[in-house]
Each structure stands twice: as structure tokens, then as C-alpha cells.
Amino acid sequence: MQSLKLYNTIRLTQSGIRAFSVSSQNYENHKCKLLIVGGGAGGCAEAAKFTSKLGKNQVIVLEPNEKHYYQPLFTLIGGGMKKLEQSWRPMGSVLPSLAKWIKDAAAEFDPKNNTVITQNGDKIEYEYMIVAVGLVLHYEAIPGVLEALEEPNGPVCSNFSPKYVNRTFPAFKNFKEGNAIFTFPNSGIKCPGAPQKVMYIFDDYARKTKKRKNARPIYCTTLPNIFGVKHYADALWKVCEKRDLEVKLRTNLVRVDPHKRQAFFENMDDPNKKLTLDYELLHVTPPQSAPDCVRNCKELVNENGFVNVDKLTLQHVKFPNIFSIGDCSSTPNSKTAASIGTQSGILYKNLSAVMEGKAPVANYSGYASCPLVTSYWSCIMAEFDYNLKPYESFPIEGDRELLIYMMMKREFFPFLYWHFLLNGLWNGPGFFRKLMLQLGLKKA
């Protein structure tokens, strides 16, 4: 907790310096029809939709970062299939020109007074607000991890941050023999399939480079199953059995000793049961949460610190002029880029209705998709809803390891993201699913 406070202090200072260098005017007041807090996938998609509807300077986007990352590409970067520079574009190029971009971050929400205070001290008054701030990575929550991630050419890596993703493939290359450990933390995370995808890619790499017989891949997850949807979990268990991949359920990484190269775990059901593993490669998925500015506003969030919205309408349960999209919202779906596509269309319809004095008109099914990469040339296409039942869009069953799904992951989905989702033109695969049903290529 001490390190988290220090981290937030540093962030606050950096934001103030950056904002001051852009403008000599501090403590400005801004007013807008719609404030979008966050310039990630959900924020950009809604900005594109609502600037078309509301016109110039009616939409403010509050976003501090100068780069916008397509985060699903990080898995492929870690496996040596893509380059980091392919995963980002300048923030100004993905935000609509009709929106007003304030390059700052939220510091305080005051939903009763329709106001947000920025880290630079500016005040933004809004009529309507969309909260789309994503999740924060807490590497500092696991002692030893940050030190390990700073070791040059070290064996500890993480695909979840652009700062560390380029450590993964060199760690693959440097691996000779021993334990290769991959972790899933005791928190909600973005893309719940990502922690095990890197294991499958490593396994394939080790086989191709004749290292596999001396490797012991181990997936340590805090979850009670390998995947939350049984239909796809069954397929993944078969992959692990076929390829001799070890899975330890309800096992939480609590500390790393980078000098002894040891990882320390606790059993989630019996904290007295400890496990210490030596590692030659350790891929860490950090605990994650909504940013402090969101969690500190108790009127805005639920007991878990996520923006408290109705899971069907995406409208806040207390403040009808507030909506939320993506990872920071309380919707119990998997937090993936694919879910944002479907959410963006639902949110646009419902907020538009509220702006016209009507009740929300559309319901979100909980649709999420997770392309589960199982090798350099195969992928399982998991698609499911709130009920954790398959909700597939394609004529071929998603629980099969297929090249076509991997090619979609590598080439088609990035194109769809940059050119359609961020421009407000992609509302998920619902229309495609209906077309497949009408053509008789899928069963209802």
C-alpha cells in the first residue's frame, strides 16, 4: 500500500508537469454536453459516435496518454510475432477531430454536481458522462516483481504492459531448462485468457527450438478452473493434457525472489499451504483494479471498486446521466476488446435515448470473445454471454484449434479495431451471427 501511494504521487506530479508544458493556463473551467473520461477502446468508440451526433466541441475526452495501444496485440508481441510499434498510434490520430481533447487525467469525481476535477486542477462540468478509464496494473502489489522486471535480459516478463512486453520473447530465447511459470492473479483482469496464451506460445516455441524436453511449463491460476466457460475449458484441458502442460488451480503468486529465482505461492483455499518453485522463466500477470480516482468516489462504484452500472443498460444505478464502458465498469462479463464492440452500440442507443428524455432501449447480453491462442498457428475462438454459454458468430465451432482463427487474431482483428471500432463503426458481430443463422450456417 505504501508503494501504491508513492506511485500515485509520482503520477500526479508527472501529469501536472505535462499539462503545464502544454498550456500556461492552470485551473481552467470547461463545460460540455458529454464528458468521456478515458481514451481507450471504449472512450474512442463513443467519442466517434457522439461527435457525429452532437457536433463540434460538444464532447470532451479526458485522456492523459499520448499513445493509444491495441492491447490484444501484446500476446503476439510477447511471442515474437509482432513488433511493439505495430501496437500503437498517436492518441490525437484516433480521437475524432470534432471532440475536444484535454490531455490530463481525472483526479476527483463529483457526480452529484456533474463535475470532474483533473489532476492539473481544472474543472469540467458535464450534462452526461461516460467513464471509460480502464484498469491499472499493480506490479508493486507482489513483492519482488518490479525488481525482477528491471533486471536486464532477466527471466521475468509480462505481456500486460508496453513497458515490459518486449522482455517476453528474449526470455523465451534465453530459456535453457527448468520451470517456465505463468501466473493468474487474485483479481479481475483484462483479457482473462491472456495469462495462459503465453504458456501455449512458449510451449510451441520450445518444441520448435528443441528445448521442450528440458522444460516444465506450469500455469498457476487463482481460479477454480482453467477457464470460466466450461465449453472452452474442456477444450483447453485437452490441450494441456496432450502437450503435458501442468496446471495448478487456486494458486496465487505472493512474492518473487529475483536473486534466488524463486516464486512463492499460497493456496487460495488454505493460506497455510505454501509452494515455492524455482524458475528459469516467469511470466507475471499483475493484480489489476480501476484507478484510484474512480475507486475513491464511493457514490460511483460498487463494493469491488468498479463503476456501478446496470449490467444490461450500462447506465449508472444511481446517476442516470452517467454510463460506463469497458474494463472499469461493474458488468460481470470478461473484460476484452471484443466486449467493448458490442457494449459501444448498446451504450450509444441507451445514452441517446436518455438525452431525449426516454428510458434506455437496448440490453447488453454480456457478449465477450477471447481468441485463445494455442500455438503460433492455432487458436480457439471463445465467444460467450453472461450465462457463460457459447454465443458463437462463425460457422465453425469455436472450441477447435484452427489456423483460420489464428489468422483472424493476427491480421483481421487489428484492422477491424483501428478502422472500424475506434471510428464508431463496429457494434460487435451480432449482424454477422444473424446472417449465419439466416443462411443456415449456424444453429440457433
Catalytic residue positions, numbered: 191, 370
In a 10 Å sphere around its CB, with 0-12 CB exposed, 13-18 middle and 19+ buried, how is residue 67 labelled?
A: exposed
Phi/psi of residue 401, nearest 5 degrees: -80, 110
188-191-196-200 Cα dihedral, nearest 10 degrees:
180
| Cell digits of residue 64 | 492523459
- CA–CA dist 64, 18 (Å, integer): 9
Do residues 130 and 324 make contact, with C-beta atoms less than 8 angstroms apart?
yes
Give the CA distances from residue 72 to residues 206, 230, 378, 381, 406, in Å, rounded to whole numbers and listed in that order: 23, 23, 16, 14, 13
What is the C-alpha to C-alpha distance for residues 120 and 117, in angstroms, rounded to an integer?
8
Residue 67: strand pairing partners: 90
**Which phi and psi (to 5°) does residue 90 adopt?**
-60, 135
Which residues on adjacent β-strands are paired with residue 431?
none
Nine-digit cell at 188? Answer: 479481475
Of 313, 374, 371, 308, the residue nearest 343 (C-alpha): 313
As a whole number of angstroms, the distance between CA 302 and CA 297 comes to 10
